[in-house]
Amino acid sequence: MTRLVMKFGGTSVADISRIRHVARHVKREVGLGHEVAVLVSAMSGETNRLIELTRDVAALHDAREYDVVVSTGEQVTTGLLAMALQQEGVQARSWLGWQICVRTDGAHGAARIDGIDTAMIEERMAQGQVAVIAGFQGVGGDQRITTLGRGGTDTSAVAVAAALNADRCDIYTDVDGVYTTDPRIVEKSQKIDRIGYEEMLEMASQGAKVLQTRSVELAMVHDVRLQVLSSYLDPDSLDAEKLPGTLVCSEDEIVEQQVVSGIAYSRDEAKITLRQVPDKPGIAADIFGILADAGFNVDMIVQNITEDGKTTDITFTVGEADAERAVNVLKARAQPGEFGDIQADKNVAKISVVGIGMRSHSGVARTMFQTLAEKGINIQVISTSEIKVSVLIESEYTELAIRALHTAYGLDAD
Ligand code: ASP
Ligand code: MG
């Protein structure tokens, strides 16, 4: 018997007709004899609305009460979907996080799941009842409701799939899979049939916003096979043996490994440059220590050798929204003389080429640099990992760079 977890995001449950449509997707899987647990998000826009309400009461509010409020969106959709399933003649019941229970740490608003007790739902699933579970929520050690952070239902779904030892976790969303790059930029981008966890992580964290990054990390750790699918597909005309989405799985399951699987980008970057940094031990430790203590997520870092043996420049990137604050924190906390001038530039974008095949192929970086050079695009910062090459460029060239690279790596559809 196949055990399946299905997850439906906010746009998939945006209104009653969409919820009925979701019920038919679930009914199809139940009809195939599968044991099914379903995770739902709040109706699209609802979580934002709830967050606004908490802000209207007080800009600085009790995070425990924030969770009580913002977790309610999922309570509504679980109940509605359970009803819609019953209408379709499918046995179903709703479960809130605390009822199962989904145990989390106490980090309200950004809680992590510690464990899930599946005994009750397993018993019901074995009797043919679909478990409709509220995503995004859990319960902390103090018995209070917690939420997992925005987009957290993906993580709830993977955690439930891991706890149930499910054969697959199908993530239904408003796109029909993971693409070689953003289809809005490259018309000839193609849907990827299979992608490795690590590649998907690079694609997701680099701005291909299909799955919440944490959910992919969790899937990789627990080896949960994830399938991304469009909820707009007609539930009744699908070949259940071959659902037309993208499977995120371990590398062993990928027969044809591409050298480059996809091109990711992020415009949400800012470059900060420190000049006249003394070339002696301890300065980088100090600067990045200050940034870490202040909670900044630093991504790319470059430092060159000195020309005169005395000072050098350090360049790094942070999220665009953090740029001014990072500059101010460094100005306020660095020791006198640790740098001369400091500048922030938000007018940059990061472009990455990603592929597990890179491990065993050379020349990937060269192709990238050559392609950008041919288009007259200047590279400001470079960073690499085993399966990724990233460059920072002026943001106005983002589309041009992505299109050129997509062609250069042979990713364009015929
Ligand atoms: N409703 C939550 C949010 O909007 C969780 C989710 O949709 O995954 O962030
Ligand atoms: Mg979402």
Which CATH number characterizes residue 363's domain?
Answer: 3.30.2130.10
| Residue 361 in domain | yes
For the chain, the distance separating the N- and C-terminal CA atoms, rounded to the nearest angstrom, is 40
CATH number, domain at 146? 3.40.1160.10
Last residue of a domain, one of 189, 221, 251: 251
Both 238 and 300 in a single domain?
Answer: no
Best of 54, 150, 214 to mutate for ligand 1, by most ligand atoms within 8 A of CB? 150
Last residue of a domain, one of 220, 251, 282: 251
Both 221 and 274 in a single domain?
Answer: no
| Residue 256 in domain | no
What is the mean predicted confidence (pLDDT) over 330-344? 94
Q: Give the model's pLDDT for residue 391.
A: 96
Please tell me which residue, 75 or 231, carries the higher pLDDT value: 75
| Residue 413 in domain | no
Question: What residue numbers bound the domain in which 205 lies?
Answer: 3-251
Both 233 and 277 in a single domain?
Answer: no
What is the mean predicted confidence (pLDDT) over 280-299? 94
What is the mean predicted confidence (pLDDT) over 360-379? 95
Taking only the tens place, the pLDDT of each residue in 24-59 is 999 999 999 999 999 999 999 999 999 999 999 998
Last residue of a domain, one of 227, 251, 275: 251
Both 226 and 288 in a single domain?
Answer: no
Which ligand 1 atom is the nearest neighbour of the CA of 155?
Answer: 8
Put residue 9 in one of left, alpha, beta given phi > 0 → left and psi -120 to 50 → alpha. Answer: beta
Q: Give the model's pLDDT for residue 307.
A: 76
- Judge whether residue 312 has pLDDT over 80: yes
pTM exceeding the 0.75 threshold for the entire prediction = yes
Confidence band for 206, pLDDT divided at 50, 70 and 90: low
| Residue 336 in domain | yes
- Judge whether residue 404 has pLDDT over 70: yes
Distance, CA 320 to ligand 1 centroid (Å)?
23
Least confident of 156-160, 235-239, 249-253: 235-239
Confidence band for 207, pLDDT divided at 50, 70 and 90: low
Ligand number with the minimum distance to the CA of 74: 1
Query: Which residues are bridge partners to 4 per DSSP?
Result: 36, 168
Both 219 and 267 in a single domain?
Answer: no
Q: Give the model's pLDDT for residue 208.
A: 60
Ligand number with the minimum distance to the CA of 49: 1
**Domain tally, the chain:** 2
- Ligand 1 neighbourhood includes 135 CB (under 6 angstroms): yes
Distance, CA 306 to ligand 1 centroid (Å)?
48
The DSSP-derived string for 180-222 is SS-TTT-TT--B-SEEEHHHHHHHHHTT-TTS-HHHHHHHHHH
- Judge whether residue 145 has pLDDT over 90: yes
Q: What are the b/e assignments for 132-160, b being 16+ CB within 10 Å? A: bbbbbbbbbeeeebbbbeebbbbbbbbbb
Confidence band for 105, pLDDT divided at 50, 70 and 90: very high
Both 123 and 243 in a single domain?
Answer: yes
Q: Give the model's pLDDT for residue 205.
A: 66
Residue ranges of E strands in 69-185? 92-95, 102-104, 113-116, 130-134, 137-139, 145-147, 168-173
